[in-house]
Structure 1
Amino acid sequence: MSSAGVVNGPSPVVRRRRRRRVIWIVVAAILAGAAALAVRPIVRPDLPPLPARADAIVQLGGPGNRRLTALELGREGRAPVVAISVSDEELSVADWCGQGSFRGQPVICFHSEPFTTRGEARSIAEMAQRYGWHSVILVTSTDQATRAELRVGRCFDGSVYVATAHLPWYHWPVQVVYQAAAFVKAYTFQRSC
């Protein structure tokens, strides 16, 4: 206060609170903008039509009816083999993985380290080199389709197509938030294979 009792401006405590509030507003605006940009490719991805035939169908891990979709594409003759990404737990109990077929469809089971989309992309590139694949149809859910195509395309030089499996409505809220954060990571921090 001045000698006349007039306040010269906000106190340091008030200025710090205002500065924090502005920082939080800016951070929230950036996150909201990133989420808005990510919603379109998560909810309604722009995917090219599937080819009549590819070298392999690759089912990525995650929620939804992915395995059923992958096997149905195999039965339609879209590829001679279905590669199925399995978790550690599933690998230990899925005796069909060692048999080379599942419900009459030739399969290859694989487990990626890390068990992430990026890890799966690296595994797909390794299998493509080993088996001579030049095109793959990825099977994932709609929310992951664009990001999976990006990740696999960074590791695999061949053609990448994406088929989407149904994702139950109750998975959507969590998946939209998860995929938005994963998009930011894929486009900023992890730009390589």
Structure 2
Amino acid sequence: MMLFAVFLAGFTALTLRLFVFPAADVPVQADAIVMLAGPGDRTGKAIELARTGYAPVLVMSTPGTRGCSAHEAPKAEVICFSPHPVTTRGEARAAAELAARHGWTRILFVTGRAQDTRARIRISRCFHGDLRVTVVGPRRLREWPYAIAYEWGALAKALIWQRSC
């Protein structure tokens, strides 16, 4: 019973550190802001960062039928893309390709709080410049169980089966 309690405490602490309270960066000047698709007000955060002047380029992942909010960021050039595959891995690949094409060495990524850890892993495998991540959140309490279960599975997939860019 004691071993189970220790395991449960460790699992809970790790879950909180990886998905609920990740190591988000303070926004800094960058060559581009890249918004990953997903829940939360990512678009609002990315546009706010662009309007504030953190980067001259705003890149928005717009998979499926999501529209591009190019008109909302007047201080930045806006680039929209639909990742292939429509995953964080696809977004990381697209961001790295854009960085290579445009000579970007520092990118500020915008993602959800729960996705932060996995996004860093995925992006760092493709983009070898200065990677900064700012998060949006928090999610509504009722959304956390699904988000945590999903992120544990997606993190295992990234660490075990999909170890390359």
Which range, TM-score by smaller chain? 0.7 to 0.9
Return the alpha-carbon distance in structure 2 between the equivalents of residues 62 and 34 of structure 1. Answer: 28
3-state secondary structure, aligned to 1:143: coil
Return the alpha-carbon distance in structure 2 between the equivalents of residues 137 and 125 of structure 1. Answer: 12
TM-score normalized by structure 2? 0.86
3-state secondary structure, aligned to 2:80: strand
Q: Count how many residue pairs are aligned between Structure 1 and Structure 2.
A: 157
Are residues 1:158 and 2:129 paired?
yes
Q: Which runs of 5+ in 1 are unaligned?
A: 1-31
Instruction: Give the % identical residues.
Output: 41
Using the TM superposition, give the Cα deviation of residue 34 of structure 1 relative to its aligned residue in structure 2, in angstroms: 9.6
Kindly provide the CA deviation profile for residues 147-187 of structure 1, in whole angstroms up to 9, marking residues without a partner as x. 11111011011111001112431332211110011111111
Using the TM superposition, give the Cα deviation of residue 33 of structure 1 relative to its aligned residue in structure 2, in angstroms: 9.4
Structure richer in helix, relative to its length:
1
Kindly report structure 1 stretches of 4+ aligned residues shifted beyond 6 Å: none
3-state secondary structure, aligned to 2:95: helix
Distance change (3 Å), C-alpha of 1:191 and 1:35: farther
Name 1:73's counterpart in structure 2. 49
TM-score normalized by structure 1? 0.74
Return the alpha-carbon distance in structure 2 between the equivalents of residues 65 and 76 of structure 1. Answer: 17
Name 2:145's counterpart in structure 1. 173
Question: 2:113, 2:135 within 8 Å by CA — same for their partners in 1?
Answer: yes
Kindly provide the CA deviation profile for residues 3-53 of structure 1, in whole angstroms up to 9, marking residues without a partner as x. xxxxxxxxxxxxxxxxxxxxxxxxxxxxx79964444211111234332x1
Are residues 1:139 and 2:115 paired?
no
Question: 1:82 aligned to 58, 67, 73, which one?
Answer: 58
Which is higher, the Rg of structure 1 or of structure 2? 1
Kindly provide the CA deviation profile for residues 75-129 of structure 1, in whole angstroms up to 9, marking residues without a partner as x. 1110001100001212xxx3x56xxx32124210011111100010000011001
Pairing 1:35-54 to 2, within 5 Å after superposition: 36=12, 37-51=14-28, 53-54=29-30
